């Protein structure tokens, strides 16, 4: 059954990218450091047809769009290969340029236990997240985060996030475990090579949230802040 939380490696022509993706009940929500991926799927026998739109959430021009345009639509078909799923297709904007991807599941045993959400709590949905380190430490992360009924799933091209939260009356707090799905030491020396535990608290409204947190990366304790912006309700 196609469903769950996956890391994704994809290739468009000669260009290679990575992301994370959550799949459930006909919907696909995920992304990476610069783009959100929002789509749907249909299963017909063993074949799966997907349609996914990319939406830029990070304006940094160093993150270039593989398709040459920020807004692109993928049309692809695939099927299971063991525990993985492999897809082939093309972008609507680049007919004739082959696309292929492999989706590898992140183990179900790692999924966090959900917290509780009360009245005035944070909205379920797919968010962009911009994490910045404090105290003069250079570094941070951008990515996507799916919040749903007290559970956190998210990530980017190198990391995935698992966590839980409680929220009510415009505030929220929780815990996140940041782990690599692809080696990142050369790309992010602060978080690369570490399993990073993060405890946080902050405020929220119908459009997004803010948080302040302390992260433990190896033996190093770091203070950070983050801004979340709602991209799609879920």
Yes or no: say if 216 and 196 are a contact pair by the CB < 8 Å rule: yes
Beta-carbon neighbour count of residue 162 at 10 Å? Answer: 19
CATH number attached to the domain at 111-233: 2.40.128.380
Yes or no: say if 132 and 226 are a contact pair by the CB < 8 Å rule: yes
pLDDT (tens digit, 9 = 90+) per residue, 193-215? 889 999 999 999 999 999 999 99
Collapse the DSSP code of 110 into the 3-class scheme (helix H, G, I; strand E, B; otherwise coil) and give the result: helix
Q: Given this model, what pLDDT does residue 83 score?
A: 94
Q: Mean pLDDT for the chain?
A: 95
Beta-carbon neighbour count of residue 196 at 10 Å? Answer: 22
Class of domain 4-105: mainly beta
Q: Given this model, what pLDDT does residue 1 score?
A: 80
- In the predicted structure, residue 112 carries a pLDDT above the cut 80: no
Q: Which of 7, 1, 4 is nearest to 156 (CA)?
A: 7
pLDDT band for position 113 (50/70/90)? Answer: confident
| Location of structure tokens 């475990």 | 177
CATH 2.40.128.380 residue spans of the chain: 4-105, 111-233
């Amino acid at each position: 059954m196609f469903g769950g939380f996956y890391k994704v490696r994809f290739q468009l022509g000669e260009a290679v990218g990575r992301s994370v993706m959550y799949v459930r009940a006909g919907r696909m929500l995920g992304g990476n450091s610069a783009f959100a991926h929002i789509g749907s799927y249909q299963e017909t026998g063993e074949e799966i047809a997907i349609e996914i739109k990319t939406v830029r959430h990070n304006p940094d021009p160093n993150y270039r769009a593989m398709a040459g345009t920020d807004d692109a639509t993928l049309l692809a078909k695939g099927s299971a290969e063991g525990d993985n799923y492999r897809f082939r297709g093309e972008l609507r904007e680049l007919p004739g340029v082959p696309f292929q991807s492999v989706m590898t599941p992140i183990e179900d045993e790692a999924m966090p236990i959900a917290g509780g959400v009360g009245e005035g709590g944070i909205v379920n949905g797919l968010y962009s997240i911009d994490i910045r380190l404090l105290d003069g430490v250079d570094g941070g992360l951008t990515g996507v985060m799916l919040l749903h009924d007290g559970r956190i799933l998210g990530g980017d091209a190198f990391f995935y996030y698992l966590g839980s939260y409680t929220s009510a009356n415009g505030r929220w707090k929780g815990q996140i475990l940041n782990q690599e799905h692809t080696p990142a030491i050369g790309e992010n020396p602060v978080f690369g090579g570490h399993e990073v535990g993060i405890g946080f608290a902050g405020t929220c409204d119908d459009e997004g949230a803010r948080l302040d947190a302390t992260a433990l990366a190896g033996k190093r304790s770091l203070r950070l802040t983050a801004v979340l912006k709602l991209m799609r309700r879920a």
